[in-house]
Structure 1
Amino acid sequence: MAPRSVLVGALLSALALAAPAEAAVAAEKVAPVSQAGAPLFPSETVQLTNVALSNLDANQSALFGFAGNASSLSARTQSGCKVYPGDFWWPSHWVWSLFDELLGGALIKTVPLAASCYNSWPEYDATECETVTDNWTNSNLHAADAASVMWPLFEGRTCLPTTNASASCTVGGYSSYAVNVTNVAQIQLAVNFARNAGLRLVVKNTGHDFSGKSTGAGALGIWTHHLKEIDYIENYQSSSYQGPAVKMGAGVQAFEIYEKGKELGFTAVGGEGRTVGVAGGYVLGGGHSPMSSMYGLAADQVLAMEVVLANGRFVTVTEESDPDLFWAIRGGGGGTFGVVTSVISRVHPKVGATVSTFSFSTGTDVSVDAFWAGVRSYMERFPAHADAGTYAYFWIIATGPNSFLFLMNPFFAVNHTLAQYNALVQPWYNDLEALGIPFTPNSTYYDNFYDAWSAGFPLETVALSTMLTGSRLFPRANWESESSLNATFDALRSTISAGYNVLAFNMKAELPTGYTPNSANPAFRTTLMHAITSTSWDADATNAEIKSNMDYFTNTILGQWRATCPDAGAYMSESDILEPNFQQAFYGSNYARLYQLKQRYDPTSLFYAPTAVGSEHWVVKSEDGLPDQNGRLCRV
């Protein structure tokens, strides 16, 4: 018998020659019953079932049917690569039309956001191009598009805003098609189609990830952005928890859950960024939060999940139903084990916070040594501040030769009145005054988290295509001796003095007592500082120059940071895509178990993302030789 991949290819070829047979929308409405302890959302009651599949003919079922079982799946790739546009086995127009019909018209063929700037595209429109250009760095623009991601460097920079209308714009590393998901059946159809046809599959909520995990050339995208349902559960009960919880659809963003919390009187653990998708890749990768010093990571809050697996089946994942997957998916990375449609997370009582912003800098009356002494005084107090439950977001910037700026933006003192905040930071303030450093804090108390967060954290700037970021989780051990703190301080000062600005968070993210352990990076559990820096290059730099810049940044600049804490790690969602030994850096001692579970739940590697578990077996043959997603995905 011919291999299944050949049979599927033959089917695709046959369908390319004729219009598809009549096909109804492949979905069935089921009862909203779930083992998660809360009813399914309406979007989750519309499912692809065996009954729904029985309405399809044999050819259609071969394309859109479930895998037999996890252990019998076999890799369906073409010559070791995922099927790619232009390949003989690439689905024909008619197959895509059939797929769209089964989805109920939810398939979107990708048109890059900036296509309006290029006269080679039917969408060319100078006025629209101006609007896109003006809003290009606004994260809302990219979150609201089915294929766009917030870091175009990793897409391949194939269609950026321009005033040169005759320049080239291609789909590049964006997914070729995306499913605008409004129900579970659409996710199941997409998963089954991609697996059976050998297509690359990506999952996008907002596209925030610093490494472009939600994009890929020739891919079919699953866009979960519109799964916005929220249910507050006043008294949720499970075997390990009883208390208030919230069920969130995968598309719920930080500003939405925080608004709901203010309305109903609870506090959620979610992202600092306004447009971050709280129930998407953020929580699956761990998710640090302004609440982390008090309550741990976002992944720690999760009590249950609804998930579509690589075999296409929709399952409820809890500590009781599947303890292995429950452990892995909470922190093991997005786009790795399945497509999450909703999460149930514990929430906390209404809490106030003091928000403070201020700055100080070198100048006529502030020497370089005095400036750095002021920074050192602050760093010495990281343990005390984090242990008090606070979260601080600050920048240290080189503004010129021997010229520096410290920007607190903001100090977010959860559960601290203005007086309590001032008492906490007064020892540092005293040192700054003794050093002759002028500063004027702007500090305000808010009686609820949403108002404090809204005042403290501006809309994030994104879509810079001439920049690469990298990060490190600096552990508490680096503060436990004078020599280790000196090494940490000297590494940061050296980085900034060399012209690489630093933004950082003073926080901790310990697993709270009584919470169920998960697969989040163990380095988070001992961290006191999550620091990020970046490198940049001229817009006209050659690809070879860019790669050289990246390598120096990864190995030399970030190498200084790693040397201070070689056994620590980095936060996978805000990291350097070239991080050496990413398995240790992003997953630590959890990697071996995660890898084993990846083989169990996704043996054909349907789900791939850069630096994700199992990604070492794949390579993207990028068009420009840079670490982006603009190229064919092939097995190593």
Structure 2
Amino acid sequence: MAILQLITILLQVLHFVSAHISIPSAQPIQPRQLQELDPTTLAPEEATLLNFSNSSLPTTLKPQRCKVFPGDPTWPSDHQWDLLNKTTNGALIKTIPIGAACFPGPLYDAAKCSYIVSQWGNSSLHMSDPTSMMSPLFQGRTCQPPSISPASNGTCTIGGYPAYALNASRVTDIQLGVNFARNTGIRLVIKNTGHDFSGKSGGAGALSIWTHYLKDIEYIPEFRGEGEKGYNGPAFKSGSGVQAWEIYEAASQEGLVVVGGEGRTVGVMGGYILGGGHSPLSSIHGMGADHIVSLSVVLPSGHYITATPTQNHDIFWSLSGGGGSTFGVVTSVTVKAYSDLPITALTFSFTGSTTTQFWAGVRAFFNYFVPFSAAGTYSYFWVLPSPPGGIPTFSMNPFFAPNLSTPQTLALLKPWLDNLASLGINITPKPVTYPTYLSAWQTSFPQEGVGGSSGLTGSRLFPRSNWHNETLLNATFAAWKGSIDAGLLTINFNFAPTLEAGGGPDNSVNPAWRETVLHSIQIASWGGDADFAEIKRVRELMSERQRVWREVSPGAGAYLGESDREEVGFQGSFYGGNYVRLLSVKREVDPGDVFWAKTAVGSEGWRVMGKGPVGDENGRLCRV
């Protein structure tokens, strides 16, 4: 049961001017978003609450130790919330926890509860809710259906969900929401789909800007960039709520591909691409963020700007890999597109008659990480720990080979498969070559499960240099294998998103990515009825396993979107040598910390006063 639970977890500025950031009239991003906020249209009462600022510092409040919280004397009145709702044309939504239908009281609805329970592991359920998130552990587990988790003890409270969400359909809505939060001193968060492993879209007492329905996609056959190094070619301008399947279908209709993730429902034009974004195409095209040519952003001041390599460059650089939820609300992203291409893909699994035989087969695979990724491939594989006395299972889901035919793919795999056969592990591969990226992706990457709340994740980007000699490679393998021996599940990716593959961009993608040949995620779990002591034990186990992984890969990093919420030294792990510049931009554009998210740039100055045995969003956000 614990392994199934583990799999569920994953598969699961008014005139702000500075030397670096100008505020021109932004280009329209989508047909329905042409209207920006005109402060002259605000009534006097509204202007006090909703007007722009010369900076991101609250205009009506003195700096306070904590963000304003429900129950505080300065918490916005019902009348003030009504003003926000009126000016956004009814876009404000008061949070009702998604699991409330399963608890006694006026919201109880047996049929609705049954549906929610049946769909709890389906990302579509959570992404369509204004505040639900796909890692409910970090909400505090205060209103999970009892049949899903007993952690709520028969009661339902809002916990770490935001107090309100603003269903944004216009730039104006976002500007009003940002101004409201800044001028009242309440916490502000952003939700697109809610996939982030660390629960960044949560926040007790917060207002959430919900960008999920910013869905328009515009194909630009001949994009023309600025300057000598500007990109010229096909591109797509997409609202930040666009998901992988939507942009892939749009690109395929034009005979093109864009670089996005393997997860079907991930908001690829939101947190995914802003945080770097690895892709099945990364070994040939680099990271998702490498292909951004323009972004439209609402800043903490409430102003709306366009950021490109030549305009508002610091904002452009920071948002191209340095993570979302901290510099502003991105409303659209324009990305490069490339000619479609054939893909060969295959899946297989194996175990062994003995653990020695099994691990010899997996260790042989590690020998080919550099040549496989150099050939442009993307290996997505799991190793599931064994029950006591049993043998683990290796599962390739899939081996994904862009621009390689079936014979070429088999020739590439042959040395490893021959190694396996010599060990007595016989694999009969059945590769399929697909004519387009979309057709291969649709078949190879089924929608993943989400919603688990009985485990913790950690990750590491293991560098190519660890493959330079046998001794270091053996140490790397031993450290990685040690987590599986300790009962952890690993989900792994062999690929190489080099700077050259990405086209040599100037962006803030974690430099550790450029040396990576293995991105590995480890997951530790507990039983559904685990007490505080057991959960603490698992937390300590994860911390120890992460330490071992760090020690064997000094100077490397981890992926901020698929990581340990309590990553030690997150600044270096998630951002590397870019962190000093990123923090400087953060302090310049958001000196009042209107935006805050766990492990985001600038987050070290605040902490959530959470209530659970692991860090969560169920508490006040206060200065350290």
CA contact (8 A) 1:192 1:311 kept: yes
Deviates more, 1:306-315 or 1:441-450: 441-450
Alignment of 1:10-25 (within 5 A): none
1:68 maps to 54
Report the secondary structure of 2:65's partner residue.
Answer: coil
Deviation at residue 42 of structure 1 after TM alignment: 1.6
CA shift in 2, pair 1:514/1:437, >3 Å: closer
Matched, 1:475 2:463: yes
CA contact (8 A) 2:59 2:183 kept: no
CA shift in 2, pair 1:399/1:564, >3 Å: same
Matched, 1:193 2:180: yes
Q: Report the AA paired with residue 80 of structure 1.
A: R
- CA–CA distance in structure 2, aligned partners of residues 259 and 633 of structure 1: 40
- CA–CA distance in structure 2, aligned partners of residues 458 and 215 of structure 1: 26
Deviation at residue 625 of structure 1 after TM alignment: 4.7
- CA–CA distance in structure 1, aligned partners of residues 28 and 52 of structure 2: 24
Q: Which runs of 5+ in 2 are unaligned?
A: 1-23
Matched, 1:176 2:163: yes
Report the secondary structure of 1:559's partner residue.
Answer: helix
| CA deviation profile, 1:534-561 (whole Å, cap 9, x unmatched) | 111122222343133212311x111111
Deviates more, 1:111-120 or 1:157-166: 157-166
- CA–CA distance in structure 2, aligned partners of residues 322 and 311 of structure 1: 15
- CA–CA distance in structure 2, aligned partners of residues 328 and 633 of structure 1: 24
- CA–CA distance in structure 2, aligned partners of residues 305 and 78 of structure 1: 31
CA shift in 2, pair 1:433/1:133, >3 Å: same
1:379 maps to 366
CA contact (8 A) 1:119 1:166 kept: no
CA contact (8 A) 1:76 1:604 kept: no
Match of 1:317 among 293, 304, 307: 307
- Using CA pairs below 8 Å that are at least 6 residues apart, which structure has the higher relative contact order? 2
Matched, 1:419 2:407: yes
1:119 maps to 104
CA contact (8 A) 2:454 2:525 kept: yes
Deviation at residue 73 of structure 1 after TM alignment: 6.0
CA shift in 2, pair 1:177/1:575, >3 Å: same
- CA–CA distance in structure 1, aligned partners of residues 134 and 444 of structure 2: 22
- CA–CA distance in structure 2, aligned partners of residues 359 and 558 of structure 1: 26
Match of 2:85 among 100, 104, 107: 100
| CA deviation profile, 1:205-254 (whole Å, cap 9, x unmatched) | 00000000111000000000000000111111113211111111000000
2:607 maps to 619
Matched, 1:241 2:231: yes
Matched, 1:158 2:131: no
Match of 2:322 among 317, 325, 332: 332
Match of 2:281 among 291, 294, 305: 291
- CA–CA distance in structure 2, aligned partners of residues 609 and 258 of structure 1: 29
- CA–CA distance in structure 2, aligned partners of residues 133 and 442 of structure 1: 37
Q: Give the TM-score, by structure 1 length.
A: 0.91
RMSD of equivalent CA atoms: 1.7
- CA–CA distance in structure 2, aligned partners of residues 76 and 532 of structure 1: 43
Deviation at residue 458 of structure 1 after TM alignment: 1.2
Deviation at residue 304 of structure 1 after TM alignment: 0.4
Q: Report the AA paired with residue 376 of structure 2.
A: G
Q: Give the TM-score, by structure 2 length.
A: 0.93
- CA–CA distance in structure 2, aligned partners of residues 78 and 177 of structure 1: 23
Q: Report the AA paired with residue 96 of structure 1.
A: W
Deviation at residue 76 of structure 1 after TM alignment: 4.1
CA shift in 2, pair 1:500/1:75, >3 Å: farther
- CA–CA distance in structure 2, aligned partners of residues 626 and 360 of structure 1: 35
Matched, 1:578 2:566: yes
Report the secondary structure of 1:622's partner residue.
Answer: coil
Alignment of 1:24-423 (within 5 A): 40-49=29-38, 53-69=39-55, 76=61, 79-120=64-105, 122-163=106-147, 167-238=154-225, 239=227, 240-363=230-353, 367-400=354-387, 401-423=389-411
Alignment of 1:471-620 (within 5 A): 471-512=459-500, 514-554=503-543, 556-620=544-608
Deviation at residue 35 of structure 1 after TM alignment: 8.0
Report the secondary structure of 1:396's partner residue.
Answer: strand
CA contact (8 A) 2:358 2:391 kept: no
- CA–CA distance in structure 2, aligned partners of residues 35 and 431 of structure 1: 61
- CA–CA distance in structure 2, aligned partners of residues 137 and 292 of structure 1: 28
| CA deviation profile, 1:268-326 (whole Å, cap 9, x unmatched) | 10011000001101111000000111111110000000000000000000111112111
- CA–CA distance in structure 1, aligned partners of residues 146 and 63 of structure 2: 36
Report the secondary structure of 2:622's partner residue.
Answer: strand
CA shift in 2, pair 1:69/1:606, >3 Å: closer
